[in-house]
Structure 1
């Protein structure tokens, strides 16, 4: 180990900060508990420090209180003591004077420097890929570049997905089952704002793709906006809407109408009354503070959407993504033999994106004219437009149906059916809700 190697660098590593973190971990289990929430072994620049860090965590996981002697013994047992600098180095690290900064700050510094190193390495790799790229391989390179930058700049990440022994998994599974049986249990996923739907699905689940489908003017976008309102306004969770159908001003108008119970027509025609303005003023603070992000770019494609979703997940911790609508979305980087194939690939990629980011993704889709050719007009999964692959890739499919859209004098005027036609992890059902079109919202029947 050279003297120069121990000197803090002005670039992308700080050996003294790494020593300070290890010193704290060798002296205090409290420090271990804090630091493990920030750092992973490969965040350390020096390989010796990574070995020491991992040995400390191994002892800590066994319920022991690590010190220089115990860590040395652990490393010797693994035939790695010499690689870690030897026992004298461990003792010197544990007894080194404090730099004055808290171990949390030192750990944060190490992590930031590790992110810079990974970003630099990713940039070099991406440049090499681009140099070797062709028009035919551009799509693969673009996706690889986005994934590499996302992985490099994510502060907490797993380099490889971990493997889990079934016995370890079952313990957590039983806890989940017991919690669900509790009278006080709540939806494990994101709440939709609809009591019966949440009871059926346990909310919108991370990693799942949900498809909302209906014929035009049934209220697909309105239902998706209800999901967003429930998450962002009622529960303060960051959410994102990618809309190709409505402008951001139209989305904001519908949000205000739904929350303040003010007619959309009055808001747009300039005929609002004093009571309307009062209701609007009462709800404005909560609506404006909601962490809802809107992207209404007219030329959005899947490649752009995927990149923005990764950035929003990393920077804003978005918990729900809505795409409105699939039939207007293009893939973006390569041609397809048919629209059927393109939609199939888009839906597959949205499912993979949901799994990668571990958030629910809700996609809005059109139905073909099948329902209008039947007597009862009720939609079926087979009516999904452009691609049967939507049914394969979706975890949850909600078909929206309103009788009064076809028969104005229907005895069910003002009612809507949420037909849960596919539910990968549970039963299917038809849930009746109230449609309040003048307020641009659906609500539980009990709220009418």
Structure 2
């Protein structure tokens, strides 16, 4: 075997001799003075121990990939370059993937040539080491088994890294930062458990290729759309609520913003089986459930609050609705004084356990930070920015309901504008989409009764528009207007 001193592992061994299955000799015992490990060796700290890895498994994976193109395709779906512990194995893996991505054949000679181009062949141990990788496995059939071992060890190393970061943050923080540290710790654990790696910069070429691939899939109706809102024209313009977007639904009190937010959640969870959660800081679970039942069954909301109005026919309708919807993936949380940290933690957990697809928060100005701030405007700005980051982290649309100031009342037409967003201009900046709810008959009962304008005042990735919907206050929902409907005077 060629000299391999260029790539020594942390325990001073190289190649197969450096194999370490687990690297966990036992839990450390902490006390005053020197730290001792489970064997009682004085002066060895937790951080001096060799991280979990298995060099034999890494060699077997690479050997299988050098023997079989099918193995390359399978393993590349499971392993990242950083999953390999040995640096020379990372370099060899990258060379194999480079050839594979270029639709070129892969074998020892071609990989050696690829490594030589970049001046890495001698660093990985030369062609002799590549031959030893092939010799380390009798068949490529077990490549995925070895890949799983490599991946599991990488996960354990990520656990150690996350734990080390959390410990360092805890030691360096002051008491006033405790809540922020808890959130950062949760974020570290979520990223690690979700198998995410912080992305580095990337070349434009692959990004353009992915963009064109998405466009091609859209034309062929192969690309999964966003979360359907349930409204024909809105979905036509937005292609649904998109992952990573922050969507603001704003309006004056009693205008119907909560109703629209619940309509979005109903469409996603009850009609498209997409896991959704509504954080209600204004209404109780029972009130929310009553609105959902009224909207789905067309039983007036007022009747839901008067037992004598529930006729036998309505009971049958309610029972049928219950049978149909009892397992729907819709979650409701009406915890009082909910902090942003609680919302983030619950969303992360639901993403892991139920593949969360939509978050609705009713409403932004009722959220609490749980700490002293200079101004309410600064606090709401922090909420807005944090919700946008949450949407990107979980890759789900986050719908934040928001109050408007009294600006619309000061205008003759009473129509809301972006500048009316209450307490923070940063809401407008952070939002990808802003819907402003306007009902003319709220101000004048004779002005287009039963109609509502949903004004898309901001659309980061497309045109703005105004959508004409019907507002059914009795059953607490919005509905599409007939396609041939014409507004009076239009």
TM-score w.r.t. structure 1 length?
Answer: 0.88
Does the C-alpha gap of structure 1 residues 344 and 279 become closer, same or farther in structure 2, counting only changes over 3 Å? same
Which of residues 77, 80, 83 is equivalent to 2:117? 77
Structure 2 residue aligned with 1:345? 382
Where do 5+ consecutive residues of structure 2 fail to align? 1-13, 25-51, 486-490
- CA offset at residue 127 of structure 1? 0.8
Does the C-alpha gap of structure 1 residues 17 and 389 become closer, same or farther in structure 2, counting only changes over 3 Å? same
Structure 2 residue aligned with 1:442? 478
- CA offset at residue 226 of structure 1? 1.2
Does the C-alpha gap of structure 1 residues 177 and 405 become closer, same or farther in structure 2, counting only changes over 3 Å? same
What are the within-5 Å matches in structure 2 for residues 148-227 of structure 1? 148-155=188-195, 157-165=196-204, 168-173=206-211, 188-227=225-264
Structure 1 residue aligned with 2:451? 415
Structure 2 residue aligned with 1:8? 21
Q: Do the aligned residues in 2 keep the contact of 1:193 with 1:227 (CA within 8 Å)?
A: yes
Does the C-alpha gap of structure 1 residues 104 and 183 become closer, same or farther in structure 2, counting only changes over 3 Å? closer
Q: Do the aligned residues in 2 keep the contact of 1:187 with 1:198 (CA within 8 Å)?
A: no
Establish whether residue 398 from structure 1 lines up as the match of residue 435 from structure 2.
Answer: yes
Residues 181-217 of structure 1: per-residue CA shift (max 9 Å, x gap) = x596988432211111122223222222211011222
Establish whether residue 33 from structure 1 lines up as the match of residue 70 from structure 2.
Answer: no
- CA offset at residue 40 of structure 1? 0.1
Q: Do the aligned residues in 2 keep the contact of 1:187 with 1:199 (CA within 8 Å)?
A: no
Does the C-alpha gap of structure 1 residues 91 and 428 become closer, same or farther in structure 2, counting only changes over 3 Å? same
Structure 2 residue aligned with 1:129? 169
Give the distance between the partners of 1:416 and 1:283, measured in 2 at CA: 28
Give the distance between the partners of 2:463 and 2:331, measured in 1 at CA: 32
Residues 338-362 of structure 1: per-residue CA shift (max 9 Å, x gap) = 1111111211222232233332211
Structure 1 residue aligned with 2:292? 255
Does the C-alpha gap of structure 1 residues 105 and 314 become closer, same or farther in structure 2, counting only changes over 3 Å? farther
What are the within-5 Å matches in structure 2 for residues 47-446 of structure 1? 47-97=87-137, 102-138=142-178, 141-155=181-195, 157-165=196-204, 168-173=206-211, 188-270=225-307, 271-332=309-370, 334-407=371-444, 409-410=445-446, 412-446=448-482
Q: Which is further off, 30-39 or 259-268? A: 259-268
Q: Which is further off, 337-346 or 71-80? A: 71-80
Residues 350-377 of structure 1: per-residue CA shift (max 9 Å, x gap) = 2232233332211000112333344433
Q: Which is further off, 233-242 or 188-197? A: 233-242
Structure 2 residue aligned with 1:46? 86
Give the distance between the partners of 2:106 and 2:222, measured in 1 at CA: 39
Structure 1 residue aligned with 2:48? none
Q: Do the aligned residues in 1 keep the contact of 2:20 with 2:53 (CA within 8 Å)?
A: no
Give the distance between the partners of 1:278 and 1:186, measured in 2 at CA: 40
Give the distance between the partners of 2:259 and 2:381, measured in 1 at CA: 25
- CA offset at residue 93 of structure 1? 2.5
Q: Which is further off, 21-30 or 209-218? A: 21-30
Give the distance between the partners of 1:98 and 1:274, measured in 2 at CA: 73
SS at match of 1:433: strand
- Determine which structure has more spread, i.e. the larger CA radius of gyration: 2
Give the distance between the partners of 1:268 and 1:110, measured in 2 at CA: 59
- CA offset at residue 34 of structure 1? 1.8
Q: Which is further off, 99-108 or 276-285? A: 99-108
Q: Do the aligned residues in 2 keep the contact of 1:395 with 1:423 (CA within 8 Å)?
A: yes
Does the C-alpha gap of structure 1 residues 42 and 177 become closer, same or farther in structure 2, counting only changes over 3 Å? closer
Q: Which has the higher contact order (CA 8 A, sep 6+)?
A: 1
Q: Which is further off, 296-305 or 102-111? A: 102-111
SS at match of 1:218: coil
Does the C-alpha gap of structure 1 residues 34 and 374 become closer, same or farther in structure 2, counting only changes over 3 Å? same
Q: RMSD of aligned C-alpha atoms?
A: 3.0
Give the distance between the partners of 2:248 and 2:366, measured in 1 at CA: 15
Q: What is the aligned length?
A: 443
TM-score w.r.t. structure 2 length?
Answer: 0.81
SS at match of 1:39: coil
SS at match of 1:26: helix
Give the distance between the partners of 1:297 and 1:66, measured in 2 at CA: 57
